Structure 1
Amino acid sequence: MSSLEQSDCILIADDHPANLLALEAVLEPLGRPIIQSSSGVEALRYLLDHDCSLAMLDVAMPGLDGFETAALIRSRERTRHIPIIFISASARDEMHVFKGYAQGAIDYVVKPFDPDVLRAKVTNLLALYRRSEEMRREAALRGRERDELREKEQEARAEAEAQRQRLHTLLVQSPAVVAITKGREHVFELVNERCQQLLGSRQVLGRPAREVLPELLPQGVWKSADAVYESGNAFVGTEAAISLDEHDRGEPQRRFFNFVVQPTRDPAGNIDGLMLHAFEVTDQVRARERERDAIRLRDEFLSIASHELRTPLTPLRLQLQSTLKCLDKGETDAADLRPRLELALRQTVRLGTLVTDLLEVSRISSGRLTLQLEEMDLAESVRDVAERHEPEARNAGTTISVQTEPVIGRWDRLRIEQVIANLLVNAIKYGGGLPVRLTVERADGGARLTVRDEGIGISTEDQDRIFDRFERAVSVRSYGGMGLGLYIAQQIVDAHGGRIQVRSARGEGSTFMVDLPVSRE
């Protein structure tokens, strides 16, 4: 008998070797391991330590016949679900058939049999057995999960009660502001020492929150508290302002607090009140207000300038260096020199335009961006940008391929080329020296630009944030840059009424798709 231990095998038992070989030949095309047993005892011995997906038993075996062997198989919990087919050389007899089905047989086959029919039956039984096993395993798993959930629920209830007792002990001693209210009117039931100290001479306990702190009404704090009481979902508030006379000197001061409102529950699990936890952030707010505007303007301008000026400067420098080398070697004449200088001139014009418009870029964060719309061919701009970045691509050891069809629309040429350049520069930078492909086509009634690289790719968790300002999916030390390119690209595309998407996975390259409407009023 074979020593195979696969659970998807077919066990055949017959005391005639020729019958075993014949059955194996018939079943071999099914691709399942076949275990041969020359007797019922040998088949049972195999099933003591192994599993199988189907048992085919000869009825007339010496010693234990097929019926007795089937009965013993059915008597064991581990093997009682194995489907059984009886095989008999005698003519079909109703009593034999009845006895076979009584022993749990799935089918009864009389020799000689049609090989194709037998294979079809076996195939169907194996499929049914597989589904039955999956259902049994699923049911067992669900049972264990229910037991675990029930146990966890009991543990959680006990832990919650213990936590409630500990929390009550710690509330009064907390250095933060802590208060507990009851009911829909949020009547104060408990306040700790820090809370009472800040509120000074105000009467708190036993009074509704709206009466104790009416200055929080216009800020929506108590509406948020109502929502917490109704929904059971905690609320986090920031920089709620309140005028407090902490030392009762008649000199109230405007103070700011971050706070959390969360529901409290009775033993039945019903919401019966709220717990408010707050800590003061007045110093941070005042310091930020003093510095916020100046720092924001300075940082946005410097960051955008340092990133965006590099886009036209790099191909311009490379073009001039190439021209100088040709001049030094005497490999060019005036006719060759002119197109090189014209290309460099176009770059300086673009650079000058970028410098002029950099102040407008700072308005992106507030949703204001000036667009100079004109009729243009997106394919032409893609080819132009790709040509300008050829030297950069060569230096990175990569190639740029462009496949376009004319797509005419009304867009801001400078800004659209800025989007193309930002995506292309990223593809070259993160492409690992592999080819970069740019395509332009009509799609869904608009224009679609696709930039594809085969580089390091972007993980799923990073794809939602790479379009945010200063966000990057890689280390600054490894790749440099300020994390502004995709942010600016998205804002420009949004301003045109378009959409930018990314499809990527770590180590599988990235594909950026820009969809633009072909006309815009």
Structure 2
Amino acid sequence: MSIRQEEKVHINILLVDDHPENLLALEAVLSSPEYQVIKANSGQEALKWVLNEEFAVILMDVQMPGLDGFETARLIKQRNKSKEIPIIFITALSQASEHVQKGYAAGGMDYIFKPFEPSVLLKKVEGFVRIYKTFAEAKRQSLLLKQRTSELEEATLALRKAEALARAINDVSIDTVLVINSEGLIVKVNSAAKSMFGYCPENIVSKPASKLLPDLDQVLNNNNKKLIRTSAMKMDGNVFPAEVSIGQAIVDDQHLVVCSIRDITEREEIEQAREKQFELLEKLVQERTMEISEVNKKLRSSEQLFYKTFQLSPNIMVIRSLRDGRFIDVNESWVRVTGFRLEDVNALNLGFRNFKGVSLGDQSLTAFNAGKSLRNLRMTFIAKSGKPREGLLSTEILDLKGEKCLLSVITDVTEQLRFEKEMARLGRLDLIGEMAAGIAHEIRNPMTTVRGFLQMMSTRPEFQENREFFDLMISELDRANSIITEFLSLSKDQVLQLKKDNLNTLLETLFPLFQADAFNRKNDVRLELEQIPDLVFDQREVRQMILNLVRNGFEAMPHGGTLTLRTINKKREVILEIQDQGKGIEPFILEKLGDPFFTTKENGTGLGLSVCYRIAEKHNGRISVKTSSLGTTFSIHFPLTL
């Protein structure tokens, strides 16, 4: 960027004082179209201005709150960019020499005491401004001199480069370059003349150019053509085809013609061979056209078969580009299972970011993202509804219309895994049930005997002092008996006493019991009952299931929560919902609900929910759970017919 000589020096003056009236007074004294006066109310603000602007002089108050004038001046002088700025201290403090010396030590150039004489202040500022202008002009002239020197050096270097480049091009060019004067004599020739014509350059200079180009006159008269095809003659008299390009120049009032000559012998031989080959290719093309036509028919048939297989497959199938990860096509199973259409995934840029490998680890997931082939990789993916689904992923690389693509096939095994988990849980319940039926009777008999003897001994006079210990042992035996009773509820061998009854009637009968329990726990309970048909069920067992779930709901809520029991009439089933307002169930606990002996309660047995699941199974029903941070809802689904 050039420096213009007429460029004016920009003069900034910084005024620093924590009193606005002092700043206004200083600004009035220094008012001039030549100056740009900038005001700062504190040392911190002055430092910010000094970081971004250049100043001819700084007028600074000494006594300021926080950062005073002396400390501000020291900080300004520490920077190379601002250390040369003259600072004039203005103060109403003591004029003692030690105070003034402190100002000079901080970097001040002058000291003015309030009240000051405006004309004196103005003269001092003008003096520093003149020094600033002189320094700025010298700096500008120095930069201008450096710039002119740099431009001259660049021009000289460019000229040297151009000359060296011209010599290099002339030496390495495979074309012969002739410079011919108006008399047809060769003025200059490059070294390529030796290999092309057999002449040394120094031997051909000043010779007629027609020795190299017999048809020179015809070549020079074809000014309308950039490239001219002609014949050239070697030193031994052999003639060869050549291609000549013509250029003209005037050097020292002398008209010169520059000819670039290229030997095209090999090119013409290649063209002749190409013509023969073209004739052969025409025959081959005619023969292959019929073959390609048949191949295309088979290819179209294969493409149609692939498309039908792709679209109608029950498995999820996706084709995406390996170049940019773009989805090219998805089949109907993808749309049905995930809920996303092709335009959705591309518009939302979903890709496969919500996929997670769970069977072969992160290495398999990395291989999948890199577009490598996989086989039956266990995956978890998120549908549009937000629900996770499980699948087995296999991939294969294919070429689709010249583009490398990855075909991904996902077998949705969500329902299969859910069924397997349910079967495993039911299997554990069956095992516990068989154990209960086998050992409960053998345990209860000795317990009954022990309880009888304890009760009998507790009535004897010699044991009255220890009566409370006997009562404690009897209560613990009763508690163990109640646990065995729950344990027996898991047995399949128990006979159901099925009767036709209405679930609403049972809930209304139990409601006072629920209210009393809620009152004791400082909670509330309410019923929301729809008109429902009668069901066939064992009232005793269903009553136990409801009591277990209601008790769990109360225990899950803090004081002030509300437990809601509602019945819903569906077409093929009746649903009983028990909804609490607790903090919800953690995912790792949710997976283990219903497992025998699993409990989160301090004194729980882990059999309550297992009994509920067994009772629901005996009635051909099922239990589903919905949970969140706002609470949990247990839904018991009763079929209308057993």
TM-score bracket, shorter-length normalisation: 0.3 to 0.5
- Higher RCO (C-alpha under 8 Å, 6+ residues apart): 1
TM superposition score normalised by structure 1: 0.32
TM superposition score normalised by structure 2: 0.27
